[in-house]
Amino acid sequence: MTIRPLVILPDAVLRRVSDPVGPITPEIRTLVADMFETMYDAPGVGLAAIQVGVAKRVVTIDTSKEEGVRDARVFIDPEIVWASAEKRIYDEGCLSIPEYYAEVERPDRVRVKFRDIEGAVQEIEADGLLATCIQHEIDHLNGVLFIDHISKLKRDRVIKRFTKAAKRDAA
Ligand code: K1U
Ligand code: ZN
C-alpha cells in the first residue's frame, strides 16, 4: 500500500467530473487500498479518488470516533437517492484545502446507493458526520468543493491565499 500525494487547491484537477468505475479491477482494489493508507496518514475521515489525481468515482470514509477502532467504508459509484428536508451545519475541512474550515449547511440525513468492493449494489441511510462526509465526497466526484457552499467573498479569499502559496512553492 502506498501513500499517494494529495492534490491541493487551486489545482484544476479538483474541478474534473470523475468517471464511473465499471468493472472492479485489480487497479481499482489497489487504488482503494492506497486511498485508505493516504486518508489515515493525512489524517482525514474521508477521501475521493480525484484528491489523489484519479478521476474515478471512488470514495473512502472512516468516521469512527473510538480510538483504535476502524470502520473503513468504500463507496463505488455512490449516488444520493434521498435527502432529508432537515438540514445540519458542520464545520467542514478538506484535505485538498489544508487548515481551512468553514460552516456548511447540508441535508441532515441521506440515503446512498453505491457498489461495494465486490461490486455488489448496497444502499445505506446515513446521519451525523457520515451523512456530511458522504455529501462532501460526492461533491468531489462532481468537481465541487466545500468552499463552493460558502460566500463568494470567503471563497475568493481562500482561493487567493492558496494560489499565492502555490506560486511561492513553485518559485
Ligand atoms: O474529502 C476530504 O477532503 C476529507 C475531509 C472530509 C470531511 C471532513 C469534515 C466534514 C466533511 C468532510 C477530511 O477528513 S478533513 C479532516 C478532518 O475532518 C479530520 C481529521 C482528523 C480527525 C478528524 C477529522
Ligand atoms: Zn474534501
26 CB burial (10 A radius; 0-12, 13-18, 19+) = exposed
pLDDT of residue 65: 84
Under 8 Å between Cβ of 134 and 112: yes
| Domain at 12-170, CATH class | alpha beta
pLDDT of residue 117: 97
pLDDT tens per residue, range 106-125: 999 999 999 999 999 999 99
Handedness of CA 48, 52, 57, 60 (dihedral sign): negative
Task: Check whether 23 has a pLDDT greater than 90.
Answer: yes
- The pTM (predicted TM-score) of the whole model is 0.97
Separation between Cα atoms, residue 52 and residue 47, nearest integer Å: 9
| Beta strands 121-126 and 110-115, pairing class | antiparallel
> How many of the other CB atoms lie within 10 Å of CB of 95?
20
Mean pLDDT of the chain: 97
Separation of CA 61 and ligand 1 centre (Å): 9
Q: Which three cell numbers stand for residue 95?
A: 484535505
- Residues at Cβ < 5 Å from ligand 2 ion: 94
Which residue out of 94, 101, 149 has the highest number of ligand 1 atoms within 8 Å of its CB and is therefore the one to mutate?
Answer: 94
Q: Give Cα 124 distance to the centre of its chain.
A: 17
Separation of CA 93 and ligand 2 centre (Å): 7
Nearest to 79 by CA among 21, 12, 7, 14: 21
Segment 76-92 mean pLDDT: 98
Nearest to 4 by CA among 139, 95, 114: 95
Separation between Cα atoms, residue 128 and residue 151, nearest integer Å: 24
pLDDT of residue 59: 99
Task: Check whether 98 has a pLDDT greater than 90.
Answer: yes
